[in-house]
Amino acid sequence: MPEGPKGDVRNALRQGTAGCANSLVVGLKRSEREHCDEVFGKGTKDAVFSGLGLSADKQKLLDLAGARKDADYRYKYSQAPGAVPDTDRPGKTAEEMKKSLGVESHSATIPF
């Protein structure tokens, strides 16, 4: 049997692409696996996302579901208060409250 690589060549192969890609076969130590993870992880923060590999129809459905969920969340947790009637003085009529809210519809009448 031929003798394996020695010294620096052995370390270069273990910590290179071939060794990192086959960490279980090569039998890398924990520190060597962590080194490989760091090497593979460099630049991923700035890399362009290539997608999930979904068809265009499925991706569109996923995007719509995400937008709907985001809109529901924003609606539920929005800080914008609704219109609150001015009830500072007791005995205020419905017509006065309607005007304070800015409602410009016809007043309702009861036919009796």
In a domain, 91, yes or no: no
Q: Which domain holds residue 13?
A: 7-41
In a domain, 68, yes or no: no
Query: Which one-letter amino acid corresponds to residue 1?
Result: M
Domain contains 110? no
Q: How many domains does the chain have?
A: 1
The answer for residues whose C-beta is within 8 angstroms of residue 5's C-beta and 6 or more apart is 13
Q: Quick check: is 101 in a domain? A: no
Average pLDDT over residues 68-96: 73
Under 8 Å between Cβ of 97 and 86: yes
Residue 36 contacts residue 23 (beta carbons within 8 Å) = yes
The answer to whether residue 85 scores a pLDDT higher than 60 is no
Mean pLDDT of 38-62: 87
57: tokens are 């129809």
Above 70 in pLDDT, residue 6? no
pTM: 0.35
Let me know if residue 16 belongs to a domain.
yes
For residues 106 and 110, what is the distance between their CA atoms, to the nearest angstrom? 13
Which whole number is the average pLDDT over 85-112?
A: 65
